[in-house]
Amino acid sequence: MSAEAFAMTDTAAPGLGALAGRRILIIVENLPSPFDRRVWQEAGALRDAGAAVTIICPTGKGYEARFERLDGIEIHRHPLPPDGVGPIGYLIEYGAALFWETILAWRVFFSRGFDVIQACNPPDLIFLVALPFKLLGRKFVFDHHDINPELFEAKFGRRGPFYHLLMLLERLTFALADISIATNESYRKIAIERGRMKPQDVFVVRSGPDLRRLKPVPPGPRWRNGRRFLVGYVGVMGEQEGVDLLLEAVGALVSRGRSDIQFCIVGGGPSLESLRKRCARQGLDPYVTFTGRAPDADLFEILSTADVCVNPDRVNAMNDKSTMNKILEYMAFGKPIVQFELTEGRVSAGESSLYARANDPIDLADKIAALLASPATRERMGAIGVTRVAEDLSWAHQVPKLLAAYGRLFSR
């Protein structure tokens, strides 16, 4: 039985009752709460089901308070050094995270207490924090956000000893987990085959958009910079996200005389400054707006204004198996999409997207131009995306699956 099918059985109903009076500690290392939208949505769903929810996470811009109680959820934040670069940088970053996560987990244990630790990777090291509590009878849930061995290979273009170490850490995390939550079927397959988990203990809970929060707003002409069309991108500015390939596509369109298209690139990340410099070197500054990390008001206005949205994620083992939140957000706003051919990208978007040849910026440019030339096609594809999200992929459809996972956890 699949995780989806299991979620639709009677186990889903006990999941709700099982959380009344339960105490759940969520640990996430790479983003602060409530900025990490998936973690915050999970925490809210668990709280609504009756659980007392605590989160341990890092501080971040706009989230500097070391302790906060927000919407009934307690948040303990800790400092982190800058994002690691290379093995030494990662060792420092992850070592600091483990130190603070351990200190704060024991603090929560002796104050509010918890019955479950839900670990949200990356990295696959949080099982070390959970291990002593597992020996004390607490349960361990692995919320599998990223496939770290593939992420390492995508970043550094090789495998080697560190890759195999990451495989070992992933295996140990699965071995300690009572249940695992996967973001899609590709991750579920990894949990079963590589992690050796029982199929009935692995649940697919997608990172669906919350349609109560993501709502179109009136378009903002300022984002078009006086041009006819706007193409939008929302996401992290990192090496594997392929924004450099998007800039090559922009260059190809400009070289064809397309001065009627503005590109708006939203998001922060380690490669933001280098991408800005690259854009300037290519002479594309007039056609590209980098907003950095944007507040929701700007993000929603940009998505509401865009004629087409793009996902230039490189085709590699990591991206091929991963579901990108931006795809579902584009669909929620009714935007036609252009992306490279990726397995999970196609599973999510279906016919609401055109698919360019792998890592080919010229074909990406061709697909963007084709969509801009056909308003009827854009409207049809946008409507397909809205329907798919509303009927299947939104967060409202994921909550019963999350509760079914916890129902299974507490029924064991």
How confident is the model over 360-408, as pLDDT tens digits? Answer: 999 999 999 999 999 999 999 999 999 999 999 999 999 999 999 999 9
How far lies 57's CA from each of 76, 100, 392, in Å? Answer: 6, 9, 30
Q: Does residue 3 have a pLDDT over 60?
A: no
Instruction: With beta carbons less than 8 A apart as the criterion, state whether 338 and 356 touch.
Output: yes
Supply the mean pLDDT for the chain.
Answer: 93
Q: Does residue 87 have a pLDDT over 50?
A: yes
pLDDT digits (tens, 9 = 90+) for 260-290: 999 999 999 889 999 999 999 999 999 999 9
Report strand pairing: 337-340 vs 353-356.
parallel
Per-residue confidence at 86, pLDDT binned at 50, 70, 90? low
Take residue 327 and report the two structure tokens written for it.
């795809």
344: Cα within 13 Å, side-chain hemisphere = 26
Per-residue confidence at 349, pLDDT binned at 50, 70, 90? very high
Identity of the residue numbered 158: R
Take residue 405 and report the two structure tokens written for it.
């996972």
Q: Does residue 11 have a pLDDT over 60?
A: no
Per-residue confidence at 89, pLDDT binned at 50, 70, 90? confident
- pLDDT of amino acid 85: 66
Cα–Cα nearest to 60, from 84, 30, 37: 30
pLDDT digits (tens, 9 = 90+) for 135-190: 999 999 999 999 999 998 988 888 989 899 999 999 999 999 999 999 999 999 99
Identity of the residue numbered 179: I
Q: Does residue 5 have a pLDDT over 50?
A: no
Residues facing residue 231 across a β-bridge: 263, 308
- pLDDT of amino acid 398: 98
- pLDDT of amino acid 2: 37
